[in-house]
Structures are given as structure tokens and as C-alpha cells.
Amino acid sequence: MLLFAQGWEPEEETRAIVCLVHGLGEHSGRYAQVAAALTGAGYTLLAFDLRGHGRSEGRRGHAAGWDALLSDVDCLLAQAEARYPHRARFLYGHSLGGCLVLSYVLRRRPDLSGAIATSPALRPAFEPARWRVALGKALCRVRPGLLMSNGLDRNGLSHDPAVARAYACDPLVHDRLSARLGVDLLAYGKEALANAAQLPLPLLLMHGNTDPICSFAASREFADKASSTGRCTFKEWDGLYHELHNELQQGEVMGTMIGWLDAHLAGEGLWY
């Protein structure tokens, strides 16, 4: 399967590589402003479109299994190592990508300098109807590729109405979610929460406490469980919605992220 990838480099020498995993239904091209902030601070950003998303191949909103997605993250990190040998690498994921990053770190225990997860999809912000969950599990066994709407409310992405308008008009954005990916997302979010105390590397976890899409409480739970490792930095953003990097306070959000990256490149911990 062919996956679309792209990268942004700073004008000066690269300090470290940040590898991005985007969220459900979107694509890496929506992170140009994140790239501008990171490259301005001396970091290279490498990103790809998940299978079934953006310009990558695959049935929209579907993956044959969670391990297939984790293997795609393997490829992203391998490209970063091949293209920028001997540079520190950080893995960064948002929403679905945030859940994938946490799962990847806990399951694969990679040799990285650290990881960042924003608004990770560990649990929905709302309680799914039991019948819907049961139906999804049943369909996963007999028709795993069956597609349905992901139900995402684009007005919950950001307080900036321009973000919702751009999202609605973006031809590479879709609202598809397969039975298999939906069931896997619930299961592996739950698994990540159960294993948070085994966090093997430094993590910056950030979430807006009024996110209507992914559960802020689940991120707080993960951070509390991971606190025993001394490796998790948790930043709560008061009043912010789902896409912290697209909020009106995006300058502060990116400043926090870059400050954490800088501190860990220097071998220092950073807490908020």
C-alpha cells in the first residue's frame, strides 16, 4: 500500500525530527501552521497520511487492523532515521493519532527522545450507546470494512469558526469510519489507559478541558496512572476544544510544545 508523506525543514540546520500522526478523517496537510512553528524553532516535521486518509491509498476510514496502523508508524520513524541519521526523533500524534502514538510507545517501546499526544482518542467525550457498540462489534466480525459516519462535529474542533469552514470545504477530509477501525479504536484506547503506568519514555500530554470530541477525563486518567513513572508532563488547557493547534491560543500551545521539546533535547525535564 502506498502512503503519501511530506516534510518541512527549517532554514538552518535541523535540531531534531518530529514525526506526526494525524487524526481521524483528516490528513497531514492540515498541519502546515504546526510545521511553520516547529521549523521556526529549528525542528523538521515529517508527516504522512494514514491509510484510508488524505492522499494515501486504502478504503476511506478503514484499516485492516490496529497492527497495520502501528506498522505504518514504524515506516514513518524508519524514514526519519534514514533521512536524518543521528538526529533525535520525537513522535507526535493528535486525536486518533494521539491514541496511536500512546499505543505505539507502550506496545513497541521505541528508541525515541520522547512523544507528544494532543487530545488523544482514548475514549469518546460522550458515552456511546450500548446498542451502537454491540452492533459495531457484530459487524466487525462479519463485515469489518462496512463504513458509517464518524459523527464528528466540526464545530467542536476550535473556537475559530474559520477552522470549521475550512474543514467542511477540504476535499481530502472525510467522515468515514469502518466497523473494524471503530472497534479497534475503543479497544486500544482502553488498553493504553490500562498500561499507562508502563510508560517507557518522556511524554507531553495536552488536552482542552472542554473538548466535545475526545475525553479530557481519559487523558487526565492516563496522566495520573503514568505519574508513577516520572515521565509524563500533563498540560490542561482551560476552555479549549479539540484541535489545540488550531485554537485561537495556538501560539501558546505551540510555545508549550516547543519549550518541552527544547528542554528534552537539553536533557532536562519540564513540568507544568
DSSP reduced 3-state for 8: strand
d(CA 204, CA 134): 34
Predicted confidence at residue 143, as pLDDT, reads: 75
Q: Residue 126: its pLDDT value, please? A: 79
**How many Å apart are CA 255 and CA 181, to the nearest integer?**
33
Q: What is the pLDDT along the chain (272 residues), one digit of tens a residue?
A: 899 999 999 999 999 999 999 999 999 999 999 999 999 999 999 999 999 999 999 999 999 999 999 999 999 999 999 999 999 999 999 999 999 999 999 999 999 999 999 999 999 997 766 656 666 666 667 677 888 889 899 999 999 999 999 999 999 999 999 999 999 999 999 999 999 999 999 999 999 999 999 999 999 999 999 999 999 999 999 999 999 999 999 999 999 999 999 999 987 554 43
pLDDT at 266: 84
How confident is the model at residue 196, as a pLDDT? 98
CA angle at 198 for the pair 270 and 107, rounded to the nearest 5°? 110
pLDDT of residue 151: 87
User: What is the 3 state secondary structure string of 102-115?
Assistant: HHHHHHHCCCCCEE
Q: Cell numbers at residue 33, please? A: 501552521
Q: Could you give the 3-state DSSP secondary structure of residue 222? A: helix
Instruction: Give 142's contacts (C-beta < 8 A, 6+ positions apart).
Output: none
Phi-psi region of 100 (alpha: psi -120 to 50; beta: other; left: phi over 0): alpha
β-bridge mates for residue 18, sequence order: 45, 90
**Cell numbers at residue 150, please?**
464518524
Neighbouring-strand partners of residue 45: 8, 18
pLDDT of residue 124: 96
Q: Specify the pTM.
A: 0.95
Three-state DSSP at 208 gives strand
Length of the chain measured in residues: 272
Grid cell for residue 266: 537539553
Residue 147, pLDDT score: 87
Taking residue 164's Cβ as centre, other Cβ atoms within 10 Å add up to 17
Q: Name 208's bridge partners.
A: 237
Domains for the chain: give ranges and CATH numbers.
5-265 (3.40.50.1820)
